[in-house]
Amino acid sequence: MIAPHKITKMRDKFLLAYRGIRERRARSILTVLGIAVGIAAIVALMSVGYGMEEAITGELTDYADVISVFPAKITAGSYVELGSFTDRDVKDVERIAGIKEISTMTFDSANVEYRNENIPIFIIGGDTEKLESVYVEPVGLKEGRWLRENDYKACVIGNRVANDYFDEVIHVNDKLEINGEKFTVLGVFKKGGMLYANDVDPHIFLTLRATKDVLQTDEISYIMVRVYDIDEAEEIAEEIKEAINDNHGLDDFANAMTMGSILEQLGNVFNIIRGVLVGIAAIALIVASVGIMNTMLMAVMERTHEIGVMKAIGAKSSDVLSLFLIESSMVSLLGGVVGCVLGAVAAKVISLGASTALGIEFGTVIKPEVLVGGMAVAMIVGVLSGFYPARKASNMSPVEAVRYE
Amino acid sequence: MIRTENLTKVYRMGAVEVQALRDVNLEIKDGEFIAIIGPSGSGKSTLLNLIGCLDKPTSGAVFIDGINTGKLSENGLAEIRREKIGFIFQQFNLIHTLNALENVALPMFFAGVRHEIRMERAEELLAKVGLGDRIHHKPSEMSGGEQQRVAIARALSNDPEIIIGDEPTGNIDTEAGNAIMDILEGLNHEGRTIIVVTHDAEIAARARVTKRMRDGSVL
């Protein structure tokens, strides 16, 4: 007898397994789809989760050197104003080492009238260049232009102010009355993204001078500090708090938040969101796994007779087992690939749909490790669910298996 | 040479025990052409399955060329089935996803024969059983007689000394059945041992030795 050639035998097993898959096209396609749907769910949900996270942290990372100082207690979802800052506070903050620049904002609610309709709206005033870099650059203007320092009775309005607040839509060059004084609309913001929807859309922006006049105040509602070295930000934030608290004789008057601490909090939130998404994907996968096991079991049962014949003509149990394992891993691999592709497409569709429906923009981030993980899960589930029925079949006595119809 | 020693097989169907074989002692010499006849349920197929190493006896033993097959591992039995025995079934039992050539080559595949060699040999064997022009046909595209000839070619693929046929003509018409018996006779002339189970007296008459079975015993 001719000596066995293990390598060619392996190659031939692959060919034979391939024949098995091709000959049962409908069942193979169903099995591949079963695996693909489970994997697609995981890939899509993870990619959307990462996409949301990146949309938010990415925007914030541009402001990593920023420390926001409020005269308020800020907890999750609430902002309790404790007063306002003074010029002396600003001067004291300016003296702290490591600070690159400081800008202040003044804001409060004012009565706004447009074509005989009166509505209280939040007015924000500050250094026009600083406001431009904080709000205009990320959000953008839909029409008109941004404020200049020498503009006086002029304003730029948020998207909701222009479109939703009054019966009639406000356009550039329309006139508004703010606390009784006439202002010309110079520009209208685009809709703010996830981060800016509440910061820009419902507000009206003026120069600092005009704001102080119209609100009749010298108070400062917010100080934005930029530092040279991000690593020193936490330390500087502490110094700012101390300096301002000393001025006011209070312990908890000023609240100075570095972007780092905001990002950290967001990171925690995203871990929870991702956990939930992975949980949902895991359920999808378990459901898919049961389906895969079922199709694999059926596929092997259906071929019990064939397995019996193979054994009767001299196949060893290990030959039969490896033949079926090769077949189920080929199917699983294909399922994994299809699943990754479907998942990536689904993630794009979801993010697109969510962006339009919710008015918040975020893309998808398809991480290679998610794809590799998806493939690995597909292989493991596919091979494991192929293993049990294949082993059962390969251990049957040939007579029993041949009789099986 | 094949020898059975007090070969007994009991099937359990729930609480009922069915004695399919009772202490069968049989000797089949090399190059013999033996027909085993008897009514259905007499134990013919059970005996054949045990000789063919497809099943294990409840007690007793089968010796093939002096080897006690009851002492062999699963893999050892698979090797005997592959190298020493060619099995022909009443239902042909071809793999329906493979064509004639691939079906015939399959036992050689399990024996690790290289692809080109086994295809060449499979083609020769199909020519030998008169199907040289139908090698690429699937079983579903062939008549019963043709399928059985493919099955014989498959049984011959690893050049076994023993050919076992369980009602090999049971599912085909008389003419095709005679053609199958002609081929088996030819194989016997080549020196191979042929064991056939049948309840067709005409078929049995073509064997050189006939054994009759009843109620699990060889008479």
pLDDT in tens, B165-212: 999 988 888 888 899 999 999 999 999 999 999 888 888 888 999 999
**How high is the pLDDT of residue A83?**
81
| B133 at A interface, C-beta within 8 A | no
pLDDT band at B81 (very low <50, low <70, confident <90, very high): very high
Residue of chain B whose Cα is closest to the Cα of A404:
B93
Partner residues linked to A177 by β-bridges: A113, A182
Highest mean pLDDT among A84-93, A296-305, B32-41 belongs to: B32-41
pLDDT tens digits for A6-24? 666 777 788 888 877 887 7
**How high is the pLDDT of residue B53?**
92
* A-chain residues near B140 (CB < 8 A): none
**Mean confidence (pLDDT) of chain B:** 91
Give the pLDDT mean for A23-48: 85
Tell which wins on pLDDT, B57 or A381: B57
pLDDT band at A2 (very low <50, low <70, confident <90, very high): very low
pLDDT band at A299 (very low <50, low <70, confident <90, very high): confident
Best residue in A313, A316, A318, A319 to probe B by mutation, most B CBs within 10 Å?
Answer: A313
Tell which wins on pLDDT, A138 or A200: A200
| B121 at A interface, C-beta within 8 A | no
Predicted confidence (pLDDT) at residue A5 exceeds the cutoff of 60 = no
| B161 at A interface, C-beta within 8 A | no
Predicted confidence (pLDDT) at residue A192 exceeds the cutoff of 80 = no
**How high is the pLDDT of residue A58?**
72
Residue of chain A whose Cα is closest to the Cα of B151:
A313
What backbone torsions phi and psi does residue A203 show, to the nearest 5 degrees? -115, 165
**How high is the pLDDT of residue A359?**
62
pLDDT band at A75 (very low <50, low <70, confident <90, very high): low
pLDDT tens digits for A51-69? 877 777 776 776 778 888 8
**How high is the pLDDT of residue A3?**
46
Contact B93 A399 (CB under 8 A): no
pLDDT band at A182 (very low <50, low <70, confident <90, very high): very high
**How high is the pLDDT of residue B65?**
92
Of B49, B82, B115, the CB nearest to A314: B82
Predicted confidence (pLDDT) at residue B111 exceeds the cutoff of 80 = yes
pLDDT band at A298 (very low <50, low <70, confident <90, very high): confident
Predicted confidence (pLDDT) at residue A1 exceeds the cutoff of 50 = no
Tell which wins on pLDDT, B132 or A262: B132
Distance from CA of A366 to the nearest CA of B (A): 40
Highest mean pLDDT among A116-120, A163-167, A366-370, B191-195 belongs to: B191-195
